[in-house]
């Protein structure tokens, strides 16, 4: 049974000007980092959101369009529905240093992953990229976890000036002793993919495609021969070699393939 | 990609191939329309996973985004869906079908192109269009239960209208035509006769049941964004079997039996009432893409236990029994 | 006799009583026709177990043995039945109803007499006959899906015929009349309008779905002796909810919502689309006779959580929502 | 799921001129003595039969009418269907001597019960009644079990001459140190009921009523306020006190109450 469970919003936190965290009155102990749920706004729509924390179920959302805007208008106590968790999450390499690379709202699942890495005693570095210092989410939370931080902003207002994927090149641990776990805009993931293949670094990337069912039957999330909702959203870099659509095309609600901006 | 890829067919004495309107299927399991049939890569993957045929998502003249989500949910005994016939439009599907055919020809797995339209006239246009891709069969979806007011009633609800749609499609293509019927009528046999008289080469039945309605009692809203939706999966199987039985007794064309088929047992049940092939949709959710190979293996086991060498040896056996 | 006997109703602030065509039900759960409604002792037991009303097995002018067994089976997501409207005949039922009324009056639990006939004319005769027992309500079953050739088509499949039956019954009794509709039509709202225009005081919906067909693949025979049978239970709930919604939007009489109701949640769902009471049948198999008390307790919990004091405070809430 | 399981007849044994035992290719380890299954003859009918042995499923049937006659025409290897087990069976009083009283085809469930009593080390006496010596079933099987036997025939051709219920009156154990378990024609059960009440002997009686569903929803098997398929078929004597229908009326297929012959 995967009818949405209707629950109330317990708490709302502003992470940045455009990123907001929602804590729901729900527990999903079985969820793994990188897995997602389908979040239902009755009367609006239902869309995929990664689990930022399973207990209580927490989502970190970037306002980008109609659905996420409607969500950001919700207040504590309002009702939302959720179903899941779905998909294949990250699996930590226990003998490799962990390098987590986040762009934009990719931070949610990576924070979840970081907490897991830390509890397992895996040395962890988190690289956060954003437009400006004001757009960097979760910095305090990561500090509190005691992980190494690499910050990058396009305008240099904080940390490295430029894309986070360049910033990590400088890092001492950007080598095959480490494993990279990345989530963010697809162009960033393409850069991480290239980096991993060049330096023989094991990597896992969390992708996004338009989703409807979330459980592998509508075909809407197809990327080449993969169903992102089921085979992903997390893929090993090897799986992404030579794909036609990775970094290039994604489907719209009609199923039409559109170029990735 | 996953275990289900390109395993060689388990060798077996029994022959489970089927012939549907002159088109050969290596086995009787067909991916039904609307499930995973959006892109050629996935259709190829489903074929490698064991499907004997694949049907594309129903496509229309223009692209359709469909309804907002939730569009597909599992309510326990089955699925309920109101996708709203979202599709990229016939132009795009022509390309997907071309690409699919190219890769599936070597596997000997045919491609069935499902089409629909909002007017009787447009059905012909879409049929002409899609024929450019040379699908092995065309399936005409006149039975989607998720009807906007615009459509008023399903084409499949009225024998005259159903016949007209069929005629119009036949005038616009030389490819064999399956017409897909709805269980949501009082006498499905009557509709079957009408479409066969109008020239249908075969029938696919059933489309999803209902529509049904499920509410979220906390918000007092339907769980599907559209409100009502078509019911499918195990919950619908007895209705589907009865419809297929009624159709096979009423007309003399091959029938693709769809509705709740999840196991080899279910496929046998459909063949016993006269089905030539079985469509599988919701079961992809319950058993994964491996369902096609599993159903075929379960079907073979049954045939071996009963000493059948081919499907025709027991097809229609139950239809014969008076009841 | 079992735990379910004469426990005092758990006291509660919320009032779950309902009024059906002027008849008061202590709670909205009603034993639906054909399930345990054969003898007054068992109907009394069901009432003591918590039912707010009891409906008798549909009775006809003459006794009917019905079909051979199997007549009722559990196929997983639901039940399937072809009992063949077996009943001891109206004469016997008059006695059973008299006896039931005598014992149920003190409990304040009304008795609904279900009747059917093979001709429009006979419906009137059975109605006049049964009225001698003074049941609180009469339910007219025009929707049994297990039709012998003799009947050709369900009365409920045709708005004109359905109206005629209703008129005939109304001419022959002063007792309020519920007409029981079938989901096996393309437009149930149209039938509902027809019977209400003909004078129906209320509607019961739905009768069992289909018919469906299940085969035993080893013997190639239907598992039911009759062949096809009506489908009921959880598998049918979304269809039932949609039908009740359609009916409540189309007509302005009270509706007894039947079809897959198994939990308090299900009863809430039916009330949200406009039902006045809920019929329970197959769930007696899934949860035992205790189902009536359990559903009422689950319903009360929901109402307490939402601060409702009475059913009317949320009846029809979902019907209002545009979809 | 209670769709009938279709199996083949493994073995057929003649017990008497009219009683025959059928061993099916099925195992019902969960069945208890006194419980029944619904036996399906495809194309004929489906009727209740008590379990005479659970593994393999064994039924002992008396030829009395169309269904049982059709069953007796079945041969080894023929297919029949079954579903169950259903109903409330016997439960042995562990501190009481066991006195099993059988008439006609009642012997099946009582043989099953006797095997259970013997394994539990309960001293057991079995009283078998029939018309003539030729109609006494299971005598050898009971001897093999090592239980005490009381035989009674109407014509005195073997054992006591007269009803088995009179025969047991003589028996030393027909007292409140014992418990009586009876199955057979209803007039016999009425006699056993009276006996148990007069002598304060705990008793359990297995009754028969016309059955359709077998699982408590059709109401066909109603006897006063009881559903024989679910509250029975085995009842404690106390439950039968003062019933209107016990010994007097049973329903036909239409549901009409008819006097018991
Ligand atoms: C597995 C997965 C996990 C995600 N996790 C998060 C998360 O934790 N936080 C977060 O802020 N966002 C997450 N997203 C992205 C989020 O689903 C979209 O941002 C959201 O659907 C945008 O909807 P919109 O109406 O606000 O914007 P729109 O204007 O509709 O779209 C903005 C972007 O979101 C994409 N999008 C729109 N609808 C969908 C859909 N139904 N499914 C997938 N993508 C869609 C569009 O392609 C476009 O790229 C995730 C997406 C996926 C696939
Ligand atoms: C719980 C139970 C356990 C039984 N166990 C055995 C058994 O182990 N061995 C055995 O030989 N018989 C058993 N019977 C009786 C057996 O079911 C009937 O003898 C059989 O159904 C007779 O059918 P018929 O067509 O041969 O005879 P009919 O001429 O139809 O009937 C003969 C007698 O059987 C009764 N009967 C008929 N149909 C049914 C029915 N559907 N359900 C119940 N009673 C019916 C009639 O009322 C009549 O008293 C059992 C009955 C019940 C209720
Ligand atoms: C998500 C989903 C989408 C569907 N879309 C279509 C469609 O576009 N065209 C069509 O003819 N049938 C469509 N159907 C109906 C199926 O093809 C099939 O007839 C029905 O689901 C019953 O089969 P099943 O029980 O195996 O799923 C859809 C079904 C589902 C579940
Ligand atoms: C065994 C059985 C017998 C039935 N007999 C009748 C009947 O005689 N008259 C009638 O109107 N409905 C009859 N029905 C239909 C039920 O009243 C009810 O409409 C249907 O079962 C759906 O409700 P449920 O899902 O709660 O069972 C019967 C249903 C079952 C399962
Ligand atoms: S979202 Fe439906 S298959 Fe992936
Ligand atoms: S046989 Fe149906 S209730 Fe007992």
- Residue closest to C213 by CA, chosen among C204, C225, C202, C222: C222
Q: In this structure, which ligand is nearest to the CA of C83?
A: 4
Q: Using an 8 Å CB-CB cutoff, list chain A residues near B36.
A: 216-219, 227
**Which among C222, C229, C242 has CB closest to B213?**
C242
Minimum-distance CB partner of D6 among C70, C218, C225: C218
Encode pLDDT of C78-102 as tens digits. 999 999 999 999 999 999 999 999 9
Q: Which two tokens stand for residue D84?
A: 């169950």
Q: Is A62 in the pocket of ligand 1 (CB under 6 A)?
A: yes
Collect all residues of chain B within an 8 Å Cβ-Cβ radius of residue C186.
153-154, 157, 184-186
Q: Which of C138-152, C245-259, D31-45, D188-202 has the lowest mean pLDDT?
A: C138-152
The residue range of the domain holding A168 is 97-259
Closest ligand to C-alpha of residue A15 is 1
Banded model confidence at residue C322, pLDDT cuts 50, 70, 90? low
Model pLDDT for residues B103-129, shown as the tens digit of each residue: 999 999 999 999 999 899 999 999 999
Using an 8 Å CB-CB cutoff, list chain C residues near B157: 186
> Is A233 near ligand 1, meaning CB less than 6 Å away?
yes
Going by their DSSP bridges, the two strands B228-232 and B215-216 should be labelled as unpaired
Helices (H), D2-158: 66-72, 107-119, 139-145
The structure tokens listed for B28 are 């009787």
Cis peptide before A125 (omega within 30 of 0): no
Residue D232 lies in a domain: yes
Candidate of A18, A19, A47 to mutate for ligand 1, largest count of ligand atoms within 8 Å of Cβ: A47
Chains B and A contact (Cβ–Cβ under 8 Å for 3 or more pairs) = yes
Partners of residue B187 in chain C, C-beta under 8 Å: 153
* Interchain CB distance below 8 Å, A255 and B87: yes
- In A, minimum Cα distance to B220 occurs at A42
D125 and D82 assigned to the same domain: no
Are A125 and A99 in contact by the 8 Å Cβ rule? The answer is: yes
Q: Do C321 and B220 touch (CB under 8 A)?
A: yes
**Pair A80, A101 in one domain:** no
* Mean pLDDT computed over C287-300: 98
Task: Specify the ligand 5 atom closest to the Cα of A227.
Answer: 4
Question: Count of residues for chain B?
Answer: 323
Ligand 1 atom closest to Cα of residue A48:
17
Cβ distance C186 to B242 less than 8 Å, yes or no, reads no
Last residue of a domain, one of A37, A54, A86: A86
Residues D81 and D111 grouped into a single domain: no
A48-103: pLDDT as tens digits: 999 999 999 999 999 999 999 999 999 999 999 999 999 999 999 999 999 999 99
End of a domain among A86, A107, A128?
A86
Smallest CA–CA distance, residue A110 to chain B, in Å, is 25
Helices then strands, each counted (H, E), chain B:
10, 16
Mutation pick from C1, C73, C283 vs chain D, by most beta carbons of D within 10 Å, is C73
Tell me how far apart the alpha carbons of residues B228 and C302 are, in angstroms, rounded to a whole number. Answer: 24
pTM for the structure as a whole? 0.95
Q: Does the pLDDT value for residue D121 go beyond 70?
A: yes
CATH of residue A62's domain is 2.40.30.10
| C86 touching D (Cβ < 8 Å) | yes
pLDDT per residue as tens digits for the range D227-255: 999 999 999 999 999 999 999 999 999 99
- Contact by Cβ (8 Å): C274, C316: yes
* D115 contacts D174 by C-beta, under 8 angstroms: no
CA distance B304 to chain A (A): 32
Q: Does A234 fall in a domain? A: yes
Q: What residues are in contact with ligand 2 under a 6 Å CB criterion? A: D 36, 47-50, 59-62, 64-68, 105, 108, 208-211, 233, 250
Residues A21 and A132 in one domain: no
- pLDDT for C56-71, tens place per residue? 999 999 999 999 999 9
Domain check: are D142 and D182 in the same one?
A: yes
Looking at ligand 6, which atom is closest to the CA of residue D211?
1
**Would you kindly state where each structural domain of chain B is located, as residue ranges?**
18-320
B21 catalytically annotated: no
CB atoms inside a 10 Å sphere around CB A159: 20
DSSP class of residue B297 equals H
Nearest CA to ligand 1 atom 42: A210
Cα-Cα-Cα-Cα dihedral sign, residues C310, C312, C314, C315:
positive
Taking the C-alpha atoms of residue C279 and residue D231, their distance in angstroms, rounded to an integer, is 24
| Calpha distance C320→B158 (Å, rounded) | 30
The minimum-distance atom of ligand 6 relative to the CA of D221 is: 4
The C-alpha of C297 sits at a distance from chain B's nearest C-alpha, in angstroms, of: 16
Q: What is the pLDDT of residues D205-228, one digit of tens each?
A: 999 999 999 999 999 999 999 999
| D229 Cα to the center of ligand 6, angstroms | 5
Contact B206, B182 (CB under 8 A): yes
pLDDT at A1: 58
Question: Are A213 and A153 members of one domain?
Answer: yes
Instruction: Determine, for residues B213 and C238 on separate chains, whether the beta-carbon distance falls below 8 Å.
Output: yes
Q: Which candidate from B76, B157, B210 shows the least CB-CB separation from C242?
A: B210
DSSP one-letter code for C230: E
**Token pair recorded at residue B318:** 């139950």
CA of D216 to the centre of ligand 6 (A): 4
Q: Angle between the B237-250 and B264-272 helix axes, to the nearest 10 degrees?
A: 30
Domain boundary among D86, D114, D136: D86
C55 lines ligand 4 (CB under 6 A): no
The pLDDT of residue C186 is 83
Tell me the ipTM for this assembly: 0.95
Minimum-distance ligand 1 atom for the alpha carbon of A19: 11
Q: What average pLDDT does range D155-184 have in this prediction?
A: 91
Q: With H, G, I as helix, E, B as strand and everything else as coil, classify residue B108.
A: coil
User: Cα–Cα distance between D223 and D229 in angstroms, integer?
Assistant: 10
Which residues of chain C make contact with B321, given a CB cutoff of 8 A?
220-222
- Are A102 and A64 members of one domain? no
User: Is pLDDT of C116 > 90?
Assistant: yes
Q: Are residues D53 and D113 in the same domain?
A: no
CB atoms D40 and C69 under 8 Å:
yes
Distance (Å, whole) CA B40 – CA B102? 10
For A103-159, what is each residue's pLDDT tens digit?
Answer: 987 899 999 999 999 999 999 999 999 999 999 999 999 999 999 999 999 999 999
Same domain flag for A79 and A120: no
Three-state DSSP class for residue B224:
strand
B106–chain C nearest CA distance, Å:
34
Give the confidence band of C320 by pLDDT, cuts at 50, 70, 90.
low
In a domain, A92, yes or no: no
Supply the CATH number for residue D114's domain.
3.40.50.80
Assess if residue D91 is contained within a domain. no
In a domain, A143, yes or no: yes
CA C278, CA C29: separation in Å to the nearest integer? 5
Give B213's strand partners.
B228
B239: nearest CB among C210, C220, C302: C210
CA distance B124 to chain A (A): 22
CB C4 within 8 A of CB C291: no
H or E element, residue D21: strand D19-24
Q: In a 3-state reduction of DSSP, which class is residue B125?
A: helix
User: Are B42 and A222 within 8 A, CB to CB?
Assistant: yes
A231: chain B residues, CB-CB within 8 Å? 1-2
C59 contacts C88 by C-beta, under 8 angstroms: yes
Judgement on whether residues A65 and A105 belong to the same structural domain of the protein: no
Instruction: Note the pLDDT of residue C157.
Output: 83
Q: Which tens digit of pLDDT belongs to each residue from A154-183?
A: 999 999 999 999 999 888 888 889 999 999
Q: Encoding tokens for residue B9?
A: 């067919």
pLDDT in tens, A15-49: 999 999 999 999 999 999 999 999 999 999 999 99
Is there a single domain that holds both residue A79 and residue A109? Answer: no
Q: What is the pLDDT of residues D74-107, one digit of tens each?
A: 999 999 999 999 999 999 999 999 999 999 878 9
In this prediction, residue B156 carries a pLDDT of: 82
Architecture of the domain delimited by B18-320:
Alpha-Beta Barrel (3.20)
Q: How many structural domains is chain A composed of? A: 2
Q: Is residue D195 part of a domain?
A: yes
* Pair A214, A105 in one domain: yes
Phi and psi at A151, nearest 5°, equal -110, 145
Q: Is the CB of A111 under 6 A from ligand 1?
A: no
Q: Which of A38, A225, A253 sits opposite B41 (nearest CB)?
A: A225
Q: In this predicted structure, which of A106-115, B50-59, B149-158, D142-151 has the lowest mean pLDDT? A: B149-158
Q: DSSP string of B237-277? A: HHHHHHHHHHHHHH--S-EEEESS--SHHHHHHHHHTT-SE
Q: What is the pLDDT of residue A105?
A: 79
How many Å lie between the centroid of ligand 4 and the Cα of residue C205? 10
Query: Going by CA atoms, what residue is nearest to atom 29 of ligand 2?
Result: D65
Asked if pLDDT for residue B180 goes beyond 80, the answer is yes
Contacts of D261 (CB under 8 A, 6+ apart): none
Please say whether the beta carbons of C229 and C146 come within 8 A: yes
Lowest-pLDDT range of A194-208, A220-234, C3-17: C3-17
Higher-pLDDT residue of A173 and D73 is: D73
């Amino acid at each position: 049974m995967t009818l949405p469970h209707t629950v109330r919003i317990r708490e709302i936190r502003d992470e940045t000007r455009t990123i907001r965290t929602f804590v729901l009155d729900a527990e999903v102990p079985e969820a793994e980092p990188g897995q997602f749920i389908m979040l239902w706004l009755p009367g609006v729509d239902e869309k995929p959101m990664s689990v930022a924390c399973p207990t209580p179920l927490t989502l970190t959302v970037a306002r980008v369009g109609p659905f996420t805007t409607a969500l950001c208008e919700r207040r504590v106590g309002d009702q939302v529905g959720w179903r899941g968790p779905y998909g294949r999450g990250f699996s930590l390499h226990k003998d490799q240093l962990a390098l987590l690379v986040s762009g934009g709202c990719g931070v949610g699942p990576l924070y979840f992953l970081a907490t897991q890495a830390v509890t397992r005693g895996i040395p962890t570095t988190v690289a956060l990229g954003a437009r400006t210092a004001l757009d960097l989410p979760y910095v305090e939370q990561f500090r509190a976890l005691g992980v190494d931080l690499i910050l990058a902003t396009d305008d240099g207002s904080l940390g490295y000036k430029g894309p986070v994927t360049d910033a990590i090149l400088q890092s001492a641990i950007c080598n095959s002793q480490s494993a990279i776990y990345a989530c963010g805009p697809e162009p960033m993931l393409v850069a991480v993919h290239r980096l991993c293949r060049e330096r023989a670094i094991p990597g896992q990337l969390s992708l996004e495609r338009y989703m409807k069912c979330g459980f592998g039957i509508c075909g809407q999330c197809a990327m080449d021969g993969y169903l992102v909702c089921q085979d992903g959203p997390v893929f090993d870099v090897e799986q992404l070699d030579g794909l036609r659509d990775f970094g290039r095309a994604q489907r719209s609600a009609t199923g039409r393939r559109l170029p990735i901006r | 990609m996953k275990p289900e890829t390109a395993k060689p067919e388990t060798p077996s004495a029994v022959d489970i191939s089927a012939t549907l309107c002159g088109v050969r299927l290596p086995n009787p399991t067909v991916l039904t329309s609307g499930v995973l049939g959006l892109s050629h890569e996935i259709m190829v993957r489903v074929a490698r996973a064991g499907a004997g045929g694949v049907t594309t998502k129903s496509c229309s003249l223009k692209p359709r985004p469909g309804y907002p989500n939730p569009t597909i949910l599992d309510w326990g005994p089955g699925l309920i869906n109101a996708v709203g016939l979202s599709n990229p439009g016939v132009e795009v599907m022509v390309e997907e079908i071309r690409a699919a055919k190219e890769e599936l020809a070597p596997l000997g797995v045919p491609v069935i192109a499902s089409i629909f339209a909002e007017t009787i006239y447009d059905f012909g246009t879409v049929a002409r269009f899609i024929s450019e891709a040379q699908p092995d069969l065309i399936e005409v979806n006149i039975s989607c239960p998720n009807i906007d007011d615009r459509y008023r009633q399903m084409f499949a609800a009225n024998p005259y209208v159903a016949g007209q749609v069929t005629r119009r499609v036949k005038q616009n293509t030389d490819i064999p035509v399956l017409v897909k019927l709805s269980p949501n009528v009082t006498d499905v046999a009557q509709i079957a006769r009408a479409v066969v008289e109008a020239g249908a080469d075969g029938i696919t039945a059933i489309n999803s049941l209902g529509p049904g309605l499920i509410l979220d009692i906390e918000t007092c809203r339907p769980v599907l964004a559209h409100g009502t939706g078509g019911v499918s999966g195990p919950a619908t199987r007895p209705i589907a079997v009865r419809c297929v039985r009624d159709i096979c007794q009423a007309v003399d064309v091959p029938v693709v039996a769809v509705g709740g088929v999840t196991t080899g047992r279910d496929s046998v049940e459909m063949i016993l009432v006269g089905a030539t092939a079985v469509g599988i949709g919701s079961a992809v959710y319950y058993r994964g893409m491996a369902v096609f190979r599993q159903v075929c293996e379960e079907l073979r086991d049954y045939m071996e236990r009963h000493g059948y060498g081919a499907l025709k040896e027991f097809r229609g056996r139950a239809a014969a029994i008076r009841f």
